[in-house]
Structure 1
Amino acid sequence: MSLGSRSWQPSDDLPNRVGGPPTLAMPDDWTLSTPWERAQRETDTGAPINDAERMVRLSDGESAHRVTWALKGRTLVADCSCKGHRFNEGWCAHVASLWWQWSRGRIVVSHLDTGRDYPEPPAWLRLDDDPDRYDDLSPAELDAYLTCDLGEMGVREYADLSGRAPGTVGNLLRWARESLGGVGR
C-alpha cells in the first residue's frame, strides 16, 4: 500500500463518472453466471488508464471496455458501458474480471479519497455502502478510520506506516468518530 498524491483526472469523454455510478452488491441469488465464468476463463490484456479507470480487454472479446474501478469512502465504485453491466446488476464480465483479478492480488485498486493503493480487497470494504458517507472527513481522517477502526491495524503500527506520531493518529481517529456521530470501536 502506498500513500501519495493521486494523478487521477476525469476523462473528457466520460464526464462525472466517479461518484455517479452505483456501488456494487453481490446478487441475492448468486450463481456462477456467464459473466463470472468468462471472468475466470478469459485473460484480460487491458491496463490502467488512471487511478479510477481501467481498460478491460477479455481474450475472446471483440473490443476493449473502459471501466470505472476505484475505492471511494468505504465502498467500491464500478461502472462499465457494456449492456451486460446493466443487465446483470453491475456484474458484467469486465467488472467480474477486475474483481477476480483484484481478489487474487493481480491488480491494485486506488482509493480516490485517501490516495492509498490496495493490492487486494481490504477487510473494511462494504460493497453496499454509500460512497458519499465519509465526505466530511479529511483524507488523513478517513485513512486512519478505515485502517485502524474498521481495518486490522493498530494505532502504533499505522503511525509507523503513515509517518505520523501515535498521538496524531489518535486525534485523527477522534475527529473522524466525532464527524461520523460517534461511530467507531
Structure 2
Amino acid sequence: MPEINARQLLDAKGEVYFPFTHVTCVEGIPEDIADFDVGTVKEDVSNIQSQIANLQSAVANIPTVTDTGWQNISFLNGAISYDTVSTPKARLFSVNGVYFLSLKGAFKGLTSNNVEIGRIPSSMTFAVKENKQFSQSMSVVNNMAQFTRMRVDTNGTIKIERATVDSVTSGLWFPIDITIML
C-alpha cells in the first residue's frame, strides 16, 4: 500500500488530528488525472502567449490622434459671421503625425476681392508649412452660381484671392467648408 503523507495538527483542545481531503473535493483536478496530457496544456499556454503577443502588437500600432476641437476664427478687414449659426471655426487634428485643418462657417461684410478675411488660432499655425489654395461656392448672383478662390497662408490668415462675381458686396455669402491635409 502506498504511503500517504499526512501532517499532524493540533485542535483547539491541544489534541492531535490528521486532516485529509478527498480528491473529489479539489476543483480543477480531472477524475482521469492519470491520463492527463501535459503536452496539451503546453500547447494551450503557447497559443495563449501567441494571442497575447498579437494583441500587444495591435495595441502598439493604434494610431496616435490629436485634436484641438473647433475654435473660432478671428475676423479681419470688416469680415463678420454670415449669421449666428455659421460662425467661422477651425479645427486642427493629426493622425500619426499627419495634420489636417478643417474650416467651417460663413463670412459676409466683404466689399472687394484679394482681401484677408480671417485668421485661424495661433496654436494651429505651426502645422501650416505652405500656403494652401482651395475653392468654395458662394452666393448665387443673377441666377448664376458663384465661386471663390481662397487661401490659408503659413501665418494663419484666410484670404479671398478672387470671386467669380463681378462686384463683391457686403451681404454676399462666403462659406468655408473644407478639410485640408497639411
Q: Same fold (TM over 0.5)?
A: no
Kindly name which structure, 1 or 2, has the bigger radius of gyration based on alpha carbons.
2
- For normalisation by structure 1, the TM-score amounts to 0.24
Higher relative helix content: 1
Structure whose residues are more often strand by fraction: 2
Instruction: Report the TM-score, using the length of structure 2 for normalisation.
Output: 0.24
